[in-house]
Amino acid sequence: MKYSKLFSPLFIGHLRLKNRIAMAPMATHFADETGAVTSRLIDYYVERACGGVGLIIIESGYVHPSGRGGIRRLGLHEDRLIPGLKELVKQVHSLGAEISAQLHHAGRQINALALNGIFPVSCSSIASAMEGIVPRTLKIAEIEELIEAFGRAARRSVEAGFDAILIHAAHGYLIHQFLSPCSNTRQDRYGGTFQNRLRFLKEIIHRCRETVGKDFPIMVRISATEFIPGGLSVKDGQKIARHLGSWGIDAILVSGGTHETQEMELQPMAIPRGCLVPLAEAVKKVVSIPVAAVGRIVDPGMAEEILQQGKADLITMGRALLADPDFPRKARQGKIEDIRPCIGCLQGCRERLYQGESITCLVNPAAGHERERRIKPAPVTKKVWVIGGGPGGMETALIAALRGHDVTLWERKDHLGGQFHLASLAPCREEIKVYLDFLTRQLKKAGVKIRLRQEVTPEKISAADAEVIILASGAFPLRLGIPGTDREKVLTAWEALAFPEKVGKNVALIGGGAVGAETANFLAQQGKEVTLVEMDKEIARDEEGMTRKLLLRRLGEQGIKIRVLTKAKAILAEGVQIAFKEGREILPADTVVLATGVASDRILE
């Protein structure tokens, strides 16, 4: 077998896993507002169990009402939740996967949408940099009550039939808040020294062990470093891991980061694949229990190499299994080209959660809709035309073909991909092309006839012999309604990305949304001097949060001039006339690039 180590068994305590792929816990917002299991949540995990994963670690279950991190988060805080959890476990077990609960308290990191009269608590009254709410300092009696709450949640997990529990002590949540010198300034037995900062976690573990018994697997998830000056270092992570081993923990899941450095906790595509593996390797050097690695491990070759080199014993994958639940089965069968790739966009798996919505996936339309969007053979096959070869048209053509239809995909350009193709040209966005390459392979495999450089006109549609015509013709870039947009020196952002050789040395880029900011980044990398003009008070506000954070950092490093609260009034021979609160001026420019929005292409409707 090509991936012999990945598909070898592993014991976590007395629990035998059939392979070394574990589904990493990720919030979904599929529970109801009381924290109960729903049919949608069960469908989601059942689909991953069907795909052949060895262990499913479900999303965080809050152990106490004060620790609910967001709306529609799964609960482990009341006995009434046990029947729903039992049904989830039963269905996952029926498909041959093991399943672990995850015990969690958010502490100060509660999404504002979830507060609902609950004031955040923490070890100290220090606000999280992301949420910005100063929490109330826990009293000793409250800490003791929370330790008991973890024990009760462990008992409920056993009663529901889970095979293991994972204690979430990472990513800046409550236990991590106690561990970190950045968030714990207590001077009692739960703060001050390193040993005292460990005490909360130690007492939770001991209480859970008393509850579940000596043979029930208990795992702990840690951030081996916070990536913050003065915060937990890798050496601190190793010290924590040594203690965990001495306290009878059965496995350690090694992650990194906190909400202040969330780009390392939940990495966008700008962060290299496997970025946290060195942390797992460092922890594995100091413990004798299984260690799990995580962090954009999205292909089986990398996973196998990590295991073969002894850097970890278990591979935890989150978004890779969101993108393709069948990842393990396809890898085992050697069908690597058929794995639907996670590209680290964070559009559906992070951004939506912070907006209070349920998880989705940009590359997997069925994620979160496993039951109703299952692809089934069409009762009657038809001849189908799909007009437009962007990602929407490609996905539509593929699904129609998989249902058995005779599909032709029409595209006016000489390549597929539409706006995704252009987006993939920008720095740190190259992985978008990985998804387009996947779709292209699958279209050919499914027998879709692809017609490039073919303009479809109303007359051609009228004469078509297709029984169904689907319009996926996308959008076109808008031009500002100001004087001078017809000048030869004016390009759209799409044109600047596709034909950088047409762009002069000195560029004025009008429009500071995500497209404008990404295009500015691209042009600066090409050696252009760029000034970005935006009428709003901030740029790239429509960009996903972690992607935006890193993009703004790159724009600063490249010396791009940013003019906010500024409007373009006219494009002149010498540049762009701009207006702002203090007055007007002319920005000199050889080329003016417009990133001023798009409109739907409805010419064929």
Q: Report all structural domains of the chain as residue ranges with CATH numbers, in order of start.
A: 10-354 (3.20.20.70), 383-473 (3.40.50.720), 477-600 (3.50.50.60)
The whole-angstrom separation of Cα 84 and Cα 77 is 13
Q: Are 61 and 74 in contact (CB under 8 A)?
A: yes
**Strands, DSSP E only, in 502-574?**
506-510, 529-533, 561-563, 567-571
Question: 462 to each of 149, 384, 458, 459, 465, how far by Cα in Å?
Answer: 68, 14, 6, 5, 9
Can you give the pLDDT at residue 104? 98
Instruction: Tell me the angle at which helices 140-160 and 194-212 cross, rounded to the nearest 10 degrees.
Output: 40
| Residue 64 DSSP symbol | S
**Residue of 44, 45, 173, 190 marked active site:** 173
CA neighbor of 20 nearest in space, from 421, 214, 292 = 292
**Is 173 a catalytic site residue?**
yes
Can you give the pLDDT at residue 71? 87
The whole-angstrom separation of Cα 201 and Cα 195 is 10
Count Cβ atoms below 10 Å from residue 159 Cβ, excluding itself: 13
Q: What is the dihedral of CA 293, 295, 301, 303, to 10 degrees?
A: 10
pLDDT averaged per 10 residues in sequence order, the chain, 605 residues: 96 99 98 97 98 98 94 96 99 99 96 75 92 92 99 99 99 98 97 98 99 98 97 98 98 96 94 98 99 98 98 98 98 97 95 90 96 95 98 98 98 96 96 98 98 94 93 93 94 98 98 98 97 98 94 97 98 97 96 96 85
**Strands, DSSP E only, in 311-425?**
314-317, 383-387, 406-410
- Burial call 425-450: b when 16+ CB within 10 Å, e when fewer: bbebbebbbbbbebbbebbeebebeb
CA neighbor of 549 nearest in space, from 227, 222, 134, 127 = 227
Count Cβ atoms below 10 Å from residue 544 Cβ, excluding itself: 21
- Burial call 37-69: b when 16+ CB within 10 Å, e when fewer: bbebbbbbbbbbbbbbbbbbbbbbbbbbebbbb
Please state the pTM of the whole predicted model.
0.95
Q: Are 348 and 363 in contact (CB under 8 A)?
A: no
The whole-angstrom separation of Cα 385 and Cα 397 is 8
CA neighbor of 151 nearest in space, from 228, 212, 62, 100 = 212
How buried is 77 (Cβ within 10 angstroms: 0-12 exposed, 13-18 middle, 19+ buried)? buried
Can you give the pLDDT at residue 604? 85
